[in-house]
């Protein structure tokens, strides 16, 4: 391993084990913190907000559209005199203004179906957000239980090391008394060295599992992070009393994957309806208003000679605006006749998507059924493995006590006793492993049955 990685691991280890004020996190605290801070959940929440914005767009299609415009221009140079019709150098200003309003009267029900689709998209986004929360909760529970397993496994390895250290003292006494050969003392020392390696391995496994859980929680600091003891977890077998068919039927009502697939199917149906709406005529109502005003100096001429004797101001702004205003309103009917098969192809394309959504729903139902039955079988198997591990530990404990008695009277050497101790430690670790494996698998089964990881 790279020396830098060793140094980083050392710093993290010091941070974990030197802090006297380490916070003890419960599973509920871990799950709630993850649900509030996880990046994936925050992204899903933004998707839900986007869906709500899309609904506003769909609702806006029912509202009339309105626009207004205005312009002002200067024409400088050779222009036509508005009184004589003669071309002459002068400056003329023009002002125009207008407004228009339009509204869809009928659009093949596309606006209505678009609004219904937007409502379904909001529901799908909520289901997706809840599914993300469910997945994060399970991942946190798995990582949390892994930390607990490594903590208990470290205790086992430390206890084994303590036993072997006591055995070293006892063996030293027996060797000094001449009851055991010196080779047995060397065997015990070798066993202690092996135990130290196992303790280091267990410490590293615990550290890595804590880091994994802390990263899953998106914690900014790792130095004071630890989990509480396993008092809240019991070997509950009540969920196994349920029939897997009953669990599956409950899961069909509770699990988000199925609800998402069903909602996506309904969205696909709306897409087909929207596409078909393009076959139908559209009717739009409109209203337009416009007016204009012009400015130019009007020459005053002598009635006899025609000479310019002065200027007069143009008509007032509002007088011109009122005199020149115009209005139009009516309805426009558009009937699609031929558009290069684009509408038909769009309908066919959405029909294909609809069939895919139906297949996806069927697949989700099959996957859910398989997952429920697999989870039920795994939980039962985990319980049997735990029970077998407990029986094996009981037998290994009796065997070790017997071996220790034989060692005390010189009927067994230190190497054989070390082998018995190793088997006992392995049996203890296996009980811990199968215990937490069973707890996690029952959590999965309870999840399918609608029992959350934490109570709301």
Of 317, 335, 353, which residue is a domain's last?
335
Task: Assess if residue 54 is contained within a domain.
Answer: no
Q: Is 154 in the same domain as 210? A: yes
Q: Could you tell me the pLDDT band of residue 98, with boundaries at 50, 70 and 90?
A: very high
Highest mean pLDDT pick, 221-225, 439-443, 450-454:
439-443
Q: Is 257 in the same domain as 289? A: no
Q: Is 298 in the same domain as 360? A: no
Cβ atoms of 274 and 75 within 8 Å: the answer is: no
Q: Is 204 in the same domain as 84? A: no
Task: Assess if residue 176 is contained within a domain.
Answer: yes
What is the model's pLDDT at position 3? 43
Q: Is 403 in the same domain as 369? A: yes
What is the model's pLDDT at position 82? 55
Which CATH number characterizes residue 102's domain? 2.20.200
Mean pLDDT of the chain: 83
pLDDT tens-digit map of 148-168: 889 888 988 898 888 888 877
Rounded to a whole number of angstroms, the distance between the first and last alpha carbons of the chain is 45
Separation of alpha carbons 13 and 200, rounded Å: 11
Is 105 a residue whose pLDDT tops 50? Answer: yes
Cβ atoms of 65 and 102 within 8 Å: the answer is: yes
What is the model's pLDDT at position 263? 95
Task: Assess if residue 359 is contained within a domain.
Answer: yes
Of 267, 300, 335, which residue is a domain's last?
335
Task: Assess if residue 165 is contained within a domain.
Answer: yes
- CB-count exposure of residue 2 (10 Å: 0-12, 13-18, 19+): exposed
Which CATH number characterizes residue 250's domain? 1.20.1600.10
Q: Is 295 in the same domain as 344? A: no
Q: Is 270 in the same domain as 219? A: yes
Which residue, among 315, 296, 323, has the nearest Cα to 80 in the 3D structure? 296
Angle (nearest 5°) at CA 121 between 115 and 125: 150
Q: Could you tell me the pLDDT band of residue 6, with boundaries at 50, 70 and 90?
A: very low
Q: Could you tell me the pLDDT band of residue 11, with boundaries at 50, 70 and 90?
A: very low
Angle (nearest 5°) at CA 84 between 83 and 88: 100
Long-range contacts of residues 79-83, Cβ cutoff 8 Å, at least 24 apart: 79/296, 81/296, 81/299, 82/294, 82/296, 82/298, 83/298, 83/299
Of 314, 335, 356, which residue is a domain's last?
335
Task: Assess if residue 447 is contained within a domain.
Answer: yes
Q: Is 304 in the same domain as 352? A: no
Q: Is 77 in the same domain as 214? A: no
Is 454 a residue whose pLDDT tops 80? Answer: no
Helix (H) or strand (E) holding 348: helix 342-408
Q: Is 241 in the same domain as 351? A: yes
Task: Assess if residue 452 is contained within a domain.
Answer: yes
pLDDT tens-digit map of 166-182: 877 877 877 777 766 77
Q: Residues 32-61: what's their mean pLDDT? A: 89
Is 281 a residue whose pLDDT tops 70? Answer: yes
Which residue, among 428, 422, 356, has the nearest Cα to 389 in the 3D structure? 428
Task: Assess if residue 75 is contained within a domain.
Answer: yes
Long-range contacts of residues 440-443, Cβ cutoff 8 Å, at least 24 apart: 440/141, 440/142, 440/145, 441/375, 441/378, 441/379, 441/382, 442/236, 442/237, 442/239, 442/240, 442/379, 442/382, 443/138, 443/141
Residues contacting residue 67 through CB under 8 Å, at least 6 positions apart: 99, 100
What is the model's pLDDT at position 13? 45
pLDDT tens-digit map of 245-255: 999 999 998 88
Q: Is 297 in the same domain as 206? A: no
Angle (nearest 5°) at CA 99 between 54 and 67: 15
Q: Count helices and strands (H / E) in the chain.
A: 10, 8
What is the model's pLDDT at position 56? 92
What is the model's pLDDT at position 161? 86
Task: Assess if residue 385 is contained within a domain.
Answer: yes
Its domain, for residue 349, covers 109-280+339-456
- CB-count exposure of residue 225 (10 Å: 0-12, 13-18, 19+): buried
Q: What domain count does the chain have? A: 2
Separation of alpha carbons 189 and 165, rounded Å: 9
Q: Residues 428-450: what's their mean pLDDT? A: 89
179, two tokens: 């009851």
Q: Could you tell me the pLDDT band of residue 221, with boundaries at 50, 70 and 90?
A: confident
Q: Is 348 in the same domain as 419? A: yes
Cβ atoms of 98 and 104 within 8 Å: the answer is: no
């Amino acid at each position: 391993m790279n020396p830098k990685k060793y140094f980083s691991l050392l710093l993290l280890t010091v941070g974990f084990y030197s802090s006297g004020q380490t916070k003890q996190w419960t599973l509920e605290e871990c799950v709630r913190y993850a649900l509030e801070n996880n990046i994936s959940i925050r992204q899903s929440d933004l998707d839900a907000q986007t869906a709500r914005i899309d609904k506003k767009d769909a609702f806006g299609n029912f509202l009339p559209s309105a626009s207004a415009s205005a312009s002002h221009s200067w024409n400088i140079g050779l222009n036509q005199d508005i009184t004589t019709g003669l071309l002459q150098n002068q400056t003329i200003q023009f002002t125009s203004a207008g407004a228009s309003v339009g509204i869809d009267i009928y659009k093949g029900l596309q606006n209505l179906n678009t609004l219904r689709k937007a409502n379904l998209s909001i529901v799908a986004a909520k289901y997706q957000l809840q599914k993300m929360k469910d997945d994060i909760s399970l991942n946190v529970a798995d990582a949390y239980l892994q930390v607990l397993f490594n903590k208990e496994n470290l205790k086992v390895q430390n206890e084994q090391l303590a036993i072997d250290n006591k055995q070293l003292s006892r063996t030293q006494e027996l060797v000094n008394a001449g009851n055991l050969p010196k080779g047995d003392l060397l065997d015990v020392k070798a066993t202690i060295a092996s135990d130290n390696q196992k303790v280091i391995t267990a410490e590293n496994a615990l550290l890595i599992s804590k880091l994994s859980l802390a990263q899953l929680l998106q914690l900014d600091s790792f130095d004071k992070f630890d989990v509480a003891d396993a008092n809240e977890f019991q070997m509950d077998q009540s969920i196994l009393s349920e029939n897997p068919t009953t669990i599956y039927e409950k899961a069909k009502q509770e699990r988000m994957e199925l609800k998402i697939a069903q909602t996506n199917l309904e969205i696909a149906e709306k897409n087909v309806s929207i596409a078909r709406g393009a076959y139908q005529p559209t009717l739009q109502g409109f209203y337009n208003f416009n007016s204009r005003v012009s400015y130019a100096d009007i020459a005053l001429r002598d009635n006899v000679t025609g000479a310019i004797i002065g200027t007069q101001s143009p008509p007032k702004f509002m007088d011109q605006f009122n005199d020149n205003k115009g209005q139009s309103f009516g309805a426009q009917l558009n009937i699609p006749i031929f558009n290069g098969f684009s509408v038909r192809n769009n309908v066919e394309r959405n029909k294909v998507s609809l069939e895919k959504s139906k297949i996806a729903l069927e697949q989700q139902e099959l996957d859910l059924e398989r997952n429920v039955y697999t989870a039920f079988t795994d939980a039962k198997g985990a319980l049997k493995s735990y029970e077998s591990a407990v029986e094996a530990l009981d037998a290994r404990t009796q065997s070790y006590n017997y071996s220790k008695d034989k060692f005390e009277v010189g009927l067994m050497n230190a190497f054989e006793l070390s082998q018995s101790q190793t088997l006992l430690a392995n049996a203890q670790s296996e009980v811990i492993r199968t215990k937490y494996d069973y707890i996690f698998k029952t959590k999965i089964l309870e999840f399918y049955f609608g029992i959350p990881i934490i109570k709301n």
